[in-house]
Structure 1
């Protein structure tokens, strides 16, 4: 009897399913004769679980401004297009649209949901962002380094709820309820008890399907946050921790495991949709996550990563040689990743797929789609509370001043900020600063000429300034010898910063040449370092201004920890806003500097 169309489709499903399983290293004979792969079918042998993920949201409820709010898209003809993206209204809508038709869908994040946030969230200790994450359906997240910006007690409050211990409740009759999803801190333990600060793992369950999630932050968190924020905590090796808890989950019968890792890599392309596996698996990515991925136990089926604010969807072989997805969705809610996890009901494990369809794909959070109404209401409610502070004008600019998104070691906004810090600490006799240094990671956004508010073109509000400098670090002025200062400049491109240089932004008067054709400390051309036209004297003492994080050796600059005669000045934000006010007006706006203090040889 000839096969019916329905039977031909059924046979085709079996053939495709067997091919996928064979490609993943599972024999087709492992399925009983006549079994249906059953993707999405509650009674089938396998079911597709949709894993939606993102990372490094950093409280960007409103669309990020300037270049921080765009992604680069590779076109069919090889050209690149800048696409506006991000904003909680669009992220929520994108995730809700993506979930349609997927009865098994889980949403996860890889840390830094909060911290270094714009004023709309940061002013309220990131309660608005946690509330937004609850509404958009986040199921689980790892912590990142920025979850520790305000210390362990504040992180615990964000998880469990309760009003802020100093600021209290922000709305009459409303108490902050905390995160409706678990923050996972598998590799962050209390020094005294040895126990994880919060839950190390969680198990997502839906209609018989069970997937375990293990959450870790980078082991090097103590090097990039203020010491006070992590007092009494220890940060452990990512691989050892994940492997430990993967065994724990397996003993509990949970064979499908996803690791949420706040550590990442550097892709070969800046385009979110490039082929990360060209010419071979994982060849399009480098950095810390590659070694982590190669050593995390095969018991883990997928790695969702973050921290570097990059976009990639790769396969990197696990220790057994099997391909495994490693993904990151850039930052600020501009992308989300859609990963298909094919769950085998008999083995309770994931049938490994590749990045190719239906594997893992990054999608743009476009701004030309409808807004999620509940997010619009949430943003309006918090904006009303923030308005008396956020809307105050502090300066004027004549054009965009690039900072976070600048494509050179020195950015125009970096020059403005370092000049502001020098001015704030130079005039004061106690400070006496001769130069200022600013860490690039502390510049969180551009200053956009046309912002999202209604204050008018070129007007810089306090809220916009806060978005650029949200940490409110206190300015320090310290004594450094010329030799110590040179050592600090060399640490930009050597040691922990060799693979991914952290080029300090410098105030006017300091100039030098950076030769990137060389390696290590030789990249800083010694004879080129000058202050006000005079060569740096190794034996002379200089008064150097920088924020307290940098003065404490943060971001891989231990040379600055040896500074003497410390003076504590105003906050970096106060220095920034004061400079904007003093050096601009409606008729004389501040123009973007040339960014010509560091000469780069490539």
Structure 2
């Protein structure tokens, strides 16, 4: 059944349609207008007008962001940085960016002077969140997004981290089914904005899980939004929570509902797509346009954008955590805007859609888009600051508990650069130690998926705990999924196949290099292609070559042992033993191997030899 939020009290007039499903958005009272005749100017401070409100052509401001992942507090370390391209062609780091308090201020300032402004997101607003949000099943983030006046969002893969039932609660509201309400006398009200899931359908009925599209309207100006997540979502979330659901092709789904919107008289359409691309530069202000080709960006979004119907006027994307504002030609060869605002609330995208009242369509040649940095040199939004403090006070007894000490920053495997990362090695070692005892699984090595490591451990983290102290809250931010650990039997041949699946099959275009525990080594030859990138003769455990016929005990989280991230061979395991959670093993390892007098050093990266 589609999720149905309550009526929003913001005064925005919005329409949502569900094609026979429960209506996700309600019809809201129109915002009062101070305009009269055509051409009237509007007060820039009020946020109502730009002088184009009643002519044939009106500018609609589209503000968008993606992959917030519950980062309400300003992200730290590399998660709170961006790269900027300078005029001389070199790059520089932009530090101290992001944070919901500052994102709110920037969005509110950006809306001033715009009579027509709509705010949209491209998924992963929740899931893989820091403890402040994750401890409370992301209720704090939804409350913050309501205050940010988010109008609509597509679902992303992380919206399914706790399954479809929990996503319905996030949309509709209500207390958590097992933990109840987190604040006495308060019931979670759910999202004021509709989550769209056009390509997520019930396998039996074929009906979308949530509403497939949404129509925003102001003074007769209508823009339709179609929301989809990546088709491969089922490969990167736990299977249990999405039983009975099918994730359809992105292009086919968008094209289908573009026709539906056209039949309803909506000719201006934006696709919110939780799938993305990889620009040639990591700088947020890199110009990825090569006229007529989109050669400055690669990845799944390029083929998708080239095949989505020309009826769609712009694509707001996500998933890859990259920043870009490109034009990629549609099937007719006409340039079309495709954007992404990195992740964690560090950027927002401001796109101007020029709307022709006579044709009811966007004038594509007049579309302009740019990413803007969420700096912290503005006043934080007071209402968001109060929200954060309220939830922090609730979380404090758990979040502030020290669990270890580090000697320096230990970085995040999601960062660009080398495939092997110190923090990934640290986590793999913690998992091996937790599952190595005979009565705990007897593991001989551990494998950790890089996408499960969500943030760096920073030596000089903000807060009162002092430099080098790792709190439970910080450890949770690194490993927020609390996956249960398993120890399983794999043959040597299956182990080698696992390594090969890092760089082939579903991971051919974007390798997913597993982080491995100490004494497990091999060579990765990136001059070759596909499975040939794994030098089979180099795969060793404790210095001995892996025997294809021998059985090895391997530790990994349940996501991996279920074949997640494209590692289908891992589902062929035998003799599974379930242990404690990955977070419990991580914090136990930090406590056992560090102290204030002897903080944990940065682990070496000497397990994977890379040939480039």
Distance in 1, matches of 2:71 and 2:579, equals 29
Distance in 1, matches of 2:75 and 2:54, equals 44
Match in the other structure for 2:100: 88
1:161-214 CA-to-partner distances (Å, cap 9, x unmatched) read: 111111111111111110000000111111232211111111001111100000
Match in the other structure for 2:20: none
Distance in 1, matches of 2:365 and 2:202, equals 38
Structure 1 351/220 Cα, relative in aligned 2: closer, same or farther at 3 Å? same
Displacement after TM superposition at 1:216 (Å): 0.3
CA contact (8 A) 1:391 1:463 kept: yes
Displacement after TM superposition at 1:107 (Å): 0.3
CA contact (8 A) 1:256 1:350 kept: yes
Structure 2 residue corresponding to 1:63, chosen from 74, 92, 95: 74
Distance in 1, matches of 2:529 and 2:218, equals 52
Distance in 1, matches of 2:542 and 2:291, equals 49
Distance in 1, matches of 2:589 and 2:292, equals 50
Displacement after TM superposition at 1:262 (Å): 0.4
Distance in 1, matches of 2:84 and 2:292, equals 21
Structure 1 372/37 Cα, relative in aligned 2: closer, same or farther at 3 Å? closer
2:231 aligned counterpart, secondary structure: coil
Displacement after TM superposition at 1:559 (Å): 1.1
CA contact (8 A) 1:188 1:235 kept: yes
Match in the other structure for 2:605: 595
Distance in 2, matches of 1:506 and 1:338, equals 41
CA contact (8 A) 1:37 1:44 kept: no
1:408-449 CA-to-partner distances (Å, cap 9, x unmatched) read: 100000010000000000024340000000000000000000
> Which sections of structure 1, spanning at least 5 residues, go unmatched?
1-34
2:338 aligned counterpart, secondary structure: strand
Match in the other structure for 1:276: 288
1:138-160 CA-to-partner distances (Å, cap 9, x unmatched) read: 00000000101111111011101
Structure 2 residue corresponding to 1:400, chosen from 385, 405, 409: 409
1:270 aligned counterpart, secondary structure: coil
* TM score, norm. by length of structure 2: 0.91
* TM score, norm. by length of structure 1: 0.92
Displacement after TM superposition at 1:347 (Å): 0.4
Structure 1 207/152 Cα, relative in aligned 2: closer, same or farther at 3 Å? same
Match in the other structure for 1:575: 585
Match in the other structure for 1:23: none
1:245-291 CA-to-partner distances (Å, cap 9, x unmatched) read: 11111111110000000011111101010111046541111111111
Instruction: Verify: 1:194 aligned to 2:206, yes or no.
Output: yes
Match in the other structure for 2:44: none
Displacement after TM superposition at 1:78 (Å): 1.8
Instruction: Verify: 1:154 aligned to 2:159, yes or no.
Output: no
CA contact (8 A) 1:185 1:217 kept: yes
**CA RMSD, Structure 1 to Structure 2 (Å):** 1.4
Distance in 1, matches of 2:214 and 2:55, equals 25
Structure 2 residue corresponding to 1:359, chosen from 368, 377, 382: 368
Distance in 1, matches of 2:149 and 2:422, equals 39
Matches within 5 A, 1:433-512: 433-512=443-522
Match in the other structure for 2:14: none
2:325 aligned counterpart, secondary structure: strand
Instruction: Verify: 1:75 aligned to 2:78, yes or no.
Output: no
> Which sections of structure 2, spanning at least 5 residues, go unmatched?
1-37, 42-49
Distance in 2, matches of 1:315 and 1:430, equals 53
1:347-396 CA-to-partner distances (Å, cap 9, x unmatched) read: 00000037xxx611011111122111111101000000000110000000
Match in the other structure for 2:267: 255
CA contact (8 A) 1:187 1:216 kept: yes
> Could you list the runs of 4 or more consecutive aligned residues of structure 1 that deviate by over 3 angstroms after TM superposition?
35-40, 278-281
Match in the other structure for 1:369: 378
Match in the other structure for 1:318: 330
Distance in 1, matches of 2:208 and 2:130, equals 29
Displacement after TM superposition at 1:79 (Å): 1.8
Match in the other structure for 2:29: none
Instruction: Verify: 1:560 aligned to 2:570, yes or no.
Output: yes
